[in-house]
Amino acid sequence: MVKLIDIFKKNFQADILDSHEQQGNETIVVSPERLHDVLGFAKNDPETLLNALMDLCAVDYLGQGPRFEVVYHLYSTSKNHRLRIKTRVPEENPKVKTCVDLWKSADWFEREAWDMLGIVFEGHPNLKRLLLFDGFEGHPLRKDYKINRRQKIPEPLERP
Amino acid sequence: MSEGDFKTKNMYLNIGPSHPTMHGTLRIFAEMDGERIVSSVAEMGYLHRGFEKHSEAGTYTQVIPYTDRLNYVSPLMNNVGYCMAVEKLIGCEIPERAQTIRVIICELSRITDHLVCIGTNVVDLGALTNFWYYFNVREKIYDFIEKICGARLTTNYTRIGGVSRDLYPEAVAELAAIIKDVQLATKEVRGLLERNKIFVDRTLGIAPISQEEAINYGFTGPCLRATGCDYDVRKSEPYCGYENYDFDIPVGEDGDTYDRFLVRFEEINQSIRIIEQAISKLRPGPVMTSDRRVALPPKAEVYTNIEALMNHFKLIYEGVRPPPGEVYSATEAANGELGFYIVSDGSTNPYRVKCRPPCFPLYAAYPRLVNGVMLADAIAVMGSINIIAGELDR
């Protein structure tokens, strides 16, 4: 069987920064600039047909080179294989292109990643907080957000 | 007179978060034309317990009780899902008896989840009898769960490397009696609903979704299978020895509310089949791995052997210590694919735990499903996709 990693290496030679197969999960790391192209290819190429975005999340590697990692877990319902695609974005500009145009499931997953870790998804139709209230300060899943930090309690609204 | 002559205006209506059928913290803001929903926006929140942040602060073992609270209708499945992810990360095998017990408790949880889903959903539609029939047998299953792990909802039963304790001696005989009751209840409730005119009118053809769109929205589980796609993690990537069981994946056709009901009914029957096979497969043996990286040494050794004593202390104080790396492990929970993505940096605390709850994409698609349907039917749709707020919001 052809490995998914090899298919991507063949088509995106220089853009695959890294790849591994820990615990049987095939993983590729791509640059944020080419991320959207790679995702589009993964979804539509007849060899891969990864038509379901199962999960999208971000990880905070505080103190490392590009600080944040955005992780996409893809699955193909017709070919029954999985692929993890990752990209690294820096602390000062944590920005990737949205993939809502490819998968509608990305809509809320991206809002959650923005809410929890402050990753900006360029072109997202409605990038606002999903789990927390609008006045919440900071992004709680960042490693430098203290676990016991308290938030300001929102003021009750004035009756008109 | 045509419709335009009535000079009606669309009005805006908040449904939830404190509406009795909105299951906790869900809210939709709907634009209504009479009783029909024209457009809507869904929101959730304010239940947030910070499951993922808490996981980073504790050891791997300390995460297990948090997983009970994700889907509180079938907590055993969340326990199994999380423990399997950590086992995959460490690379440890669990004994056969523990695997079979896991299959039994997973299928029991699937049954209770479907019983609650169908039972409460038809209450929203005005049919109370089915609710009593189903909650009656659910009670029996909960008594069984209470006997095997001491709790009804916050089960906390599995451990990394096996399960916390073996089944009690009469368990198998009692289980066989319970599944007979479930079978009877399902037969009765199906008989009451399947051709009931009110039920059929309010579910058939309501809020259908095509297979392609469902996959695009990230649907999994009964809601995806109602559209005709036979994706089930138990078949596509078998775990806990599911490849050795003989069972079918029920699928629907139209992906409407009626199909979602029927798929759940049939899944209850399939789960009973699996449990019957699992009971016959149950052989005596250990229920915890002997791998010293994850399992406590036997007490006799702890009292006599310094290595075992240190091993015991280390596991209690620090817990397990998986190698650096990352893993994504998926299991088929009652509502669909339950995935855990765990990143380990080699220390005793997980660096990152991301839970992929099956309800999350389902609720994200809720406004798409209810646009165009009547307000009362929107409530039926809500029940049929079985949103669990604890899992949605984590």
Q: Which residues of A touch B217 (CB under 8 A)?
A: 104-105
Closest A-chain CA to B44: A131
Give just the sign of the alpha carbon dihedral B135, B138, B140, B142. negative
How far is the alpha carbon of B356 from chain A, nearest alpha carbon, in Å?
6
pLDDT tens for the 160 residues of chain A, in order? 678 888 888 888 888 888 888 888 889 999 888 888 889 988 888 888 888 999 999 999 988 888 999 999 999 988 888 999 999 999 888 889 999 999 998 999 999 999 889 899 999 888 888 888 878 888 988 988 888 888 888 777 777 7
Helix, strand, coil % (nearest 5) of chain B? Answer: 50, 10, 35
Name the packing angle between helices A35-44 and A4-11 (round to 10°): 120
Instruction: Give the count of Cβ contacts less than 8 A between chain A and B.
Output: 88
**Predicted local distance difference test score (pLDDT) of residue B85:** 92
pLDDT tens for the 394 residues of chain B, in order? 566 667 778 888 888 776 666 666 788 888 988 888 999 888 887 667 788 888 888 899 889 998 888 888 888 999 999 999 999 999 888 999 999 999 999 999 999 999 988 888 888 888 888 888 888 899 999 999 999 988 888 888 898 888 888 888 888 899 999 999 999 999 988 888 888 888 888 888 888 889 999 999 989 999 999 998 889 999 888 988 898 999 999 998 888 889 998 999 999 999 999 999 999 988 888 888 888 888 888 888 889 999 999 999 988 888 888 999 999 999 999 889 999 999 999 888 999 999 999 988 998 898 888 888 888 888 888 888 888 877 887 7
Of the candidates A38, A18, A36, which has an alpha carbon nearest to the alpha carbon of residue A27?
A18
Closest B-chain CA to A84: B328
| pTM summary value | 0.90
CB contact under 8 A, B326 and A82: no
Of the candidates B1, B19, B94, B15, which has an alpha carbon nearest to the alpha carbon of residue B366?
B15
Strands A27-30 and A82-89: parallel
- Would you state the structure tokens that stand for residue A121, as one six-digit string? 């998804």
C-alpha–C-alpha distance, residues B221 and A36, integer Å: 28
**Predicted local distance difference test score (pLDDT) of residue A7:** 84
C-alpha–C-alpha distance, residues A147 and B351, integer Å: 14
How far is the alpha carbon of B393 from chain A, nearest alpha carbon, in Å?
7
Q: Which residues of A touch B365 (CB under 8 A)?
A: 104
The interface predicted TM-score (ipTM) is 0.90
Residue B156 backbone class (left: φ over 0; alpha: ψ -120 to 50; beta: rest): left
